Chain A
Amino acid sequence: MDPSLRGRTLRRARARTLIAIVTAASVVAGAVLATLFWVVLTQTHASGMPTPVPRRGEVQIDDPSSAAVGPGAAARS
């Protein structure tokens, strides 16, 4: 085979391998980024993990705005 033709064939084969590698890398990078973005955005959009809805009359001790928390709570409630 003509050496220049052989060199061109080899370069084309190498380019095809590179195309496959870059395409596969794009798929993996896309999936990884989508997962990463989803995790971060879930925390941004969400108010966190599902928590039980307080029943009417139930005191939330972790809520600083609750009338039943802080000094003078008994007097306020």
Chain B
Amino acid sequence: MNVDISAPPWSGATGTRPTVADAVEDGFTAAGHAMGLVAMLLLTATVVLGTLHSGRVSSANWPRFAVHAVHRNVSLLAVAFLVVHIVVAIGKPRSGLSWPVAVVPYSTAPHPIWLGMGTVALELLLAAIVTSMLRLRIGFRSWRAVHVVAYASWPLALAHGLGLGATDRRLGWVMAVYLGCAVAVAAAITRRCLTVDADRDARRAAKAGQR
């Protein structure tokens, strides 16, 4: 008996049953997406903590400097996960991506828009970190301007994740992670907009006095 088996329905996109190379590629893909998801969670925590800090949220156990310190540490951790995410994505076999993708937005053939959003988000984050390190040198206004613009990295990262993760989008728990991030950031921004900090009038009076 000689039965020809051509493209069985359980085979993958390549038309063959999974090989070791396919398994390695799938492992890289999953690792890249996992790191991206964790980076998204940490970036959300960074944005929420930064928004709370700018709203002068504090308590007896959590003074403002503690909120700021956690905001800074979590943002550095988010960048660490982002770097691993990028290294895994580019290092993945047959990824079709090269290193310039990590620094030059919209420079790649597959998915230029979604990948470019991720690149811009990374660069905004790095700009926020570098300007925070040079805050005393560049002045408060410049630092604040860059920091405010850097908040755009969050929606860009969200769009990057939703736009590229076609497979992940079908998973309910992944969408729940993204939804949870969106709700957390929306709640923090709403709180920030509705809260009038206690020393606002004093700061405005001091500013007016400087002029």
Pick from A14, A37, A49, A65 the residue with the most CB of B within 10 Å: A37
Contacting residues of chain B (164-209) with chain A, CB-CB under 8 angstroms: 167-168, 171, 173
Question: Contact between B17 and A67 (Cβ–Cβ < 8 Å)?
Answer: no
Q: What is the interface residue range for chain B against chain A? A: 35 or more
Q: Report the nearest B residue to A52, measured CB to CB.
A: B17
Q: Which residues of A contact B66 (CB under 8 A)?
A: 15-16, 18-19
Main secondary structure, interface of A, reads helix
Q: Which residues of B contact A42 (CB under 8 A)?
A: 26-27, 30
Q: Which residues of A contact B8 (CB under 8 A)?
A: 60, 63, 65-66
Pick from B5, B22, B168 the residue with the most CB of A within 10 Å: B5
Question: Contact between B17 and A51 (Cβ–Cβ < 8 Å)?
Answer: yes
Q: Which residues of B contact A77 (CB under 8 A)?
A: 1-3
Known A19-B73, A49-B23, A66-B3; judge A44-B62 contact (CB<8 A). Answer: no
Question: Contact between B30 and A38 (Cβ–Cβ < 8 Å)?
Answer: yes
Q: Report the nearest B residue to A8, measured CB to CB.
A: B63
Question: Contact between A30 and B77 (Cβ–Cβ < 8 Å)?
Answer: yes
Question: Contact between B29 and A45 (Cβ–Cβ < 8 Å)?
Answer: yes
Main secondary structure, interface of B, reads helix
Question: Contact between A41 and B168 (Cβ–Cβ < 8 Å)?
Answer: yes
CA distance in complex: A63, B42 (Å): 44
Whether A58 sits at the interface, judged by CB under 8 Å, is: yes
Q: Which residues of B contact A49 (CB under 8 A)?
A: 18, 23
Contact residue among A26, A40, A50, A74 (Cβ-Cβ distance under 8 Å from B45): A26
CA distance in complex: A66, B7 (Å): 11
CA distance in complex: A52, B34 (Å): 28
Question: Contact between A65 and B38 (Cβ–Cβ < 8 Å)?
Answer: no
Q: What is the interface residue range for chain A against chain B? A: 35 or more
CA distance in complex: A65, B62 (Å): 63
Question: Contact between B33 and A50 (Cβ–Cβ < 8 Å)?
Answer: no
Known A50-B23, A77-B1; judge A26-B61 contact (CB<8 A). Answer: no
CB distance from B41 to the nearest CB of A (A): 7
Question: Contact between A44 and B30 (Cβ–Cβ < 8 Å)?
Answer: yes
Q: Report the nearest A residue to B2, measured CB to CB.
A: A57
Question: Contact between A51 and B41 (Cβ–Cβ < 8 Å)?
Answer: no
The 7 A-B pairs of least Cβ separation, nearest first, read A37-B34, A46-B26, A41-B30, A38-B34, A42-B30, A15-B66, A23-B73
CB<8 Å pairs between A and B, sample of 13: A22-B73, A26-B73, A30-B77, A30-B81, A41-B30, A41-B33, A41-B34, A41-B168, A44-B168, A44-B171, A47-B12, A47-B18, A59-B1
Given A26-B74, A42-B26, A63-B5, 14 other A-B residues pairs in contact with their CB atoms under 8 A? A12-B63, A12-B65, A19-B70, A37-B33, A38-B27, A41-B168, A42-B27, A45-B29, A45-B167, A46-B18, A47-B18, A53-B19, A56-B5, A66-B5
